[in-house]
């Protein structure tokens, strides 16, 4: 019965989650602050690492404006739900962890980046600690030559869940804000000290962008691309 129940969840939950995400987005106004950063990389034909906190994942399908991205997602049960949901938005997935012995997943990530596919990373995922960047995205950037673009999200009205990542669910008819940071270039095959410096830079950049997203969502003025409600 337990196996049947899990199988049923895997079938039903992803389309319901995707429907909820789409319906929420249709009611919202979204701002994209600094998106020219990733637009420039796309125009230059450079694949990049799209890095965001695990708790900012809900509307992240709408933060990506490129043609092809694969999301690094863990192999546990919750990861399968996320992978199936992202597939409904046209996003592929790479299963596994780029750290904690996940050499095979890291090799797949590096190969995808070298082949021109952007990669979505949650540096504090899949289990935290919250807002503490792990080394995986930095290692992938160093081995592939791809830059890391940190992205943060906030909303004018939102529900913050009591999960380890303080997952943000924007409320309908709120204003959502994505803020993109400058690319972080990691030296090729960097030594441990340079990798740690890049990891700390990514963590701090995401923290700063999160504060900025919250300010903009609360009504601070900024130059941005604004998109109103739309059909999805």
pLDDT at 229 over 60: no
- The C-alpha atoms of residue 26 and residue 205 are separated, in whole angstroms, by 29
Express as a percent the part of the chain with pLDDT over 90.
81
Strand partners, 93: 71
Asked if 31 contacts 220 with a C-beta cutoff of 8 angstroms, the reply is no
What confidence score (pLDDT) does residue 220 get?
A: 61
pLDDT at 47 over 60: yes
What confidence score (pLDDT) does residue 121 get?
A: 96
- The C-alpha atoms of residue 92 and residue 170 are separated, in whole angstroms, by 24
| Stated pTM of the model | 0.91
What confidence score (pLDDT) does residue 98 get?
A: 67
pLDDT at 34 over 90: yes
- The C-alpha atoms of residue 202 and residue 149 are separated, in whole angstroms, by 9
Q: What is the mean pLDDT of the chain?
A: 91
Asked if 168 contacts 22 with a C-beta cutoff of 8 angstroms, the reply is no
What confidence score (pLDDT) does residue 227 get?
A: 45
What confidence score (pLDDT) does residue 1 get?
A: 45
- The C-alpha atoms of residue 137 and residue 100 are separated, in whole angstroms, by 13
pLDDT at 60 over 90: yes
pLDDT digits (tens, 9 = 90+) for 96-109: 876 655 788 999 99
Q: What is the average per-residue pLDDT within 131-157? A: 97
């Amino acid at each position: 019965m337990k196996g049947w129940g899990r199988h049923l969840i895997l079938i039903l939950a992803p389309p319901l989650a995707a429907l909820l995400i789409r319906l929420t987005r249709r009611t919202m106004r979204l701002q994209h602050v600094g998106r020219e950063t990733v637009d420039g990389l796309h125009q230059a034909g450079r694949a990049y690492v799209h890095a965001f906190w695990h708790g900012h994942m809900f509307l992240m399908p709408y933060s990506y404006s490129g043609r092809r991205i694969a999301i690094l997602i863990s192999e546990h049960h919750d990861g399968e739900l996320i992978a199936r949901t992202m597939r409904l938005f046209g996003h592929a997935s790479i299963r596994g962890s780029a750290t904690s012995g996940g050499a095979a997943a890291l090799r797949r990530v590096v190969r995808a980046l070298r082949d021109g596919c952007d990669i979505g990373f949650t540096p504090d995922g899949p289990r935290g600690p919250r807002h503490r960047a792990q080394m995986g995205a930095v290692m992938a950037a160093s081995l592939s030559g791809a830059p890391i673009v940190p992205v943060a999200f906030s909303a004018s009205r939102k529900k913050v869940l009591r999960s380890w990542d303080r997952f943000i669910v924007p409320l309908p008819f709120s204003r959502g804000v994505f803020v993109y940071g400058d690319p972080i270039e990691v030296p090729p095959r960097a030594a441990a000290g340079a990798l740690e410096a890049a990891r700390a830079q990514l963590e701090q950049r995401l923290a700063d962008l999160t504060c900025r997203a919250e300010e903009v969502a609360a009504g601070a003025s900024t130059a941005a691309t604004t998109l109103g409600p739309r059909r999805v």
